[in-house]
Chain A
Amino acid sequence: MKPKKKTIGLLIYFVLLILPIYWMLNMSLRSNADILASFSLYPRNITFVNYLNILTDSSWYMGYVNSMLYVFMNTVISLSFALPAAYAFSRYRFLGDGQMFFWLLTNRMAPAAVFALPFFQLYSTIGLLDTHIAVALAHCLFNIPLAVWILEGFMSGIPKEIDETAFIDGYKFPRFFITIFIPLIRAGVGVTAFFCFMFSWVELLFARTLTVTAAKPISAIMTRTISATGLDYGLLAAAGILTIIPGALVIWFVRNHLAKGFALGRV
């Protein structure tokens, strides 16, 4: 392939990638009557009525706050638990290490649809139902294994001599780990945080099952409002666009980290 052809192919792919999202943006800027009345490639009479409907209703914007809260908690928990474990897997051989690693991965393989009910019972038994921490903990089920997996790759890329030198210099493990080792793999930590954010943000089933009102995520509020108002495509599209924005902001802010992490090639 010549470089030119490659670039054109890539551009076409990106256009196709953006197209469905553009279409939703288009719909979100039109009123429902306008959408049903005429087909148009771009909004002729731009209206923000759908967005106003959503942003003036507290159950809507609290949905954002709730989602943000549990996603943030989950990312912090996942990283702080996964970092030492990933270090152990990358540096040591110990009894049952291989089996442990595979077992961690198997936790991504259970059908969430049926585990939702036992989860509900478990969390209502320990009185955590409808709290942000419940969703954050539930999401650890699939995020911690992934975090361990990704971090282990990054850590294995750091030569062991660095650890040995530090220990000879008299560093104790916790201080060495926090002040020397973690800064060395900060690109990896960034990439891992990105993946944790991503999978926690997009997951719906656990988040919806474990919350009633106080910690309801935005995506669940969205489905409820859809059924309540029938088929208001404009409102639906506006809600969809609003759920994309936080994700888009996160990628924008971590893009350099991501590029650096990918350049190390240790995902």
Chain B
Amino acid sequence: MDKWQDNRAWFLVLPVFVIVAFSALIPLMTVVNYSVQDIFGPGETVFVGTEWFKQMLGDYRLHDALLRQFLFSGLVLLIEIPLGILIALAMPKKGWGVSISLVTLALPLLIPWNVIGTIWIIFTRPDIGLFGVGINSLNLLEVPFDHTATPLYAWITVMLMEVWHWTPLVALLAYAGLRAIPDAYYQAARIDGASPWATFWYIQLPKMRGVLTIAVLLRWMDSFLIYAEPFVLTGGGPGNSTTFLSIYLVKIALLQFDLGPGAAFSLIYFLIVLLFSFIFYQVLQTVGKGEKG
């Protein structure tokens, strides 16, 4: 569809620009301010240039948290995107099953994030939790399951929680993409005698590119910025094993009150998210456009 060329359209966008800029640019400037100053008290600040940036870039605990974060977000994308697509493919296309499926899927998405952590504490505790008690009663594990004691179990618990919480979002988006494919495509596929796999690979997947772009971007950003759920569930432990970037950041900025380093850190953090989002966006926009379109 050709769009009209008219710069007056800016008047329609202006309100959004103003209200978002108010909430985005002013705090961002404050953070930039903090990141280059040392603050002793109200009105007593010293310009320190890039010192905080150097300090944060040399912080080995930050490196660990960053690696942990990449591993976490990578696993999230690798598990949730395929699983979400599978669920969307299995969902009914008409009848009463549609409403039931949508409502069930949306349920975890509407639970406040700290409550998500609470649910999983109660669910996985080795003394009162169904999962904790259940898995220990099987007697398969060398070390009894307790996510507060063993880093590996803490990771598994956090991953389970994350997949439980957010796969429905991917499934909902993928389902929306699937429903948008006109029947004519399926009829053509049937006439050509295409296998289910070929139908998926050459029709459904390319047609879902738009919604999957949204799904990948949302999951990437939100999993990279994850805070409340693992904080409630594990508090970053045992040790530092589940201290993700946001948890470490809050530790520095709000608990130790090192505003300068915290601000420098959050700017680096923001740039990483931005850079990867841009790469994903570009790749997903171009992938499959030539050969399948």
Residue from A23, A107, A250 within 8 A of B20 (CB atoms):
A107
Residue B150 is within 8 A (CB to CB) of chain A in the complex: no
A-facing mask of B65-95, CB < 8 A → 1, else 0?
0000000000000000000000101111000
Q: B118–A236 contact, CB under 8 A?
A: yes
How many angstroms from the CA of A144 to the CA of B258 in the assembled complex?
Answer: 32
Shortest Cβ gap from A12 to chain B (Å): 10
B residues near A258, Cβ cutoff 8 Å: 102, 106
A residues near B254, Cβ cutoff 8 Å: 113, 116-117
Shortest Cβ gap from B226 to chain A (Å): 10
How many angstroms from the CA of A129 to the CA of B277 in the assembled complex?
Answer: 33
Interface residues on A, range: 35 or more
Select from chain A the residue with minimum beta-carbon distance to B272: A109
How many angstroms from the CA of A84 to the CA of B3 in the assembled complex?
Answer: 16
Q: B102–A92 contact, CB under 8 A?
A: no
How many angstroms from the CA of A23 to the CA of B118 in the assembled complex?
Answer: 11
B252-293, CB < 8 A from A = 253-254, 259, 262-263, 265-266, 269-270, 273-274, 277-278, 281
**A24-B119, A137-B23, A141-B23 known; A110-B173 Cβ under 8 A:** no
B-facing mask of A217-247, CB < 8 A → 1, else 0?
0110011000000000100110110011001
How many angstroms from the CA of A238 to the CA of B58 in the assembled complex?
Answer: 45
> Among A3-11, A48-56, A178-186, which stretch is in contact with chain B?
A3-11
B residues near A138, Cβ cutoff 8 Å: 23
Residue B109 is within 8 A (CB to CB) of chain A in the complex: yes
A-facing mask of B1-37, CB < 8 A → 1, else 0?
1011111111011011101101110111011000000
**A81-B15, A113-B253 known; A149-B119 Cβ under 8 A:** no
B residues near A100, Cβ cutoff 8 Å: 13, 17
Residue B245 is within 8 A (CB to CB) of chain A in the complex: yes
Q: A264–B20 contact, CB under 8 A?
A: no
A residues near B175, Cβ cutoff 8 Å: 262
Interface residues on B, range: 35 or more
A residues near B5, Cβ cutoff 8 Å: 92-94
Residue B45 is within 8 A (CB to CB) of chain A in the complex: no
Q: B16–A104 contact, CB under 8 A?
A: yes
A residues near B114, Cβ cutoff 8 Å: 204, 219, 222-223
How many angstroms from the CA of A236 to the CA of B7 in the assembled complex?
Answer: 54
Select from chain A the residue with minimum beta-carbon distance to B220: A109
Residue from A18, A104, A111, A265 within 8 A of B104 (CB atoms):
A18
A residues near B249, Cβ cutoff 8 Å: 111, 113-114
Shortest Cβ-Cβ A-B pairs, 8 listed:
A265-B180, A247-B110, A92-B9, A118-B27, A118-B30, A114-B266, A88-B12, A219-B112
Known: A204-B112, A248-B107. 5 other contacts (CB 8 A): A18-B107, A94-B6, A141-B23, A222-B118, A255-B102
**Residue contacts A-B, CB under 8 angstroms, 10 given:** A17-B105, A85-B15, A94-B7, A114-B263, A115-B27, A137-B19, A198-B106, A258-B102, A267-B176, A267-B177
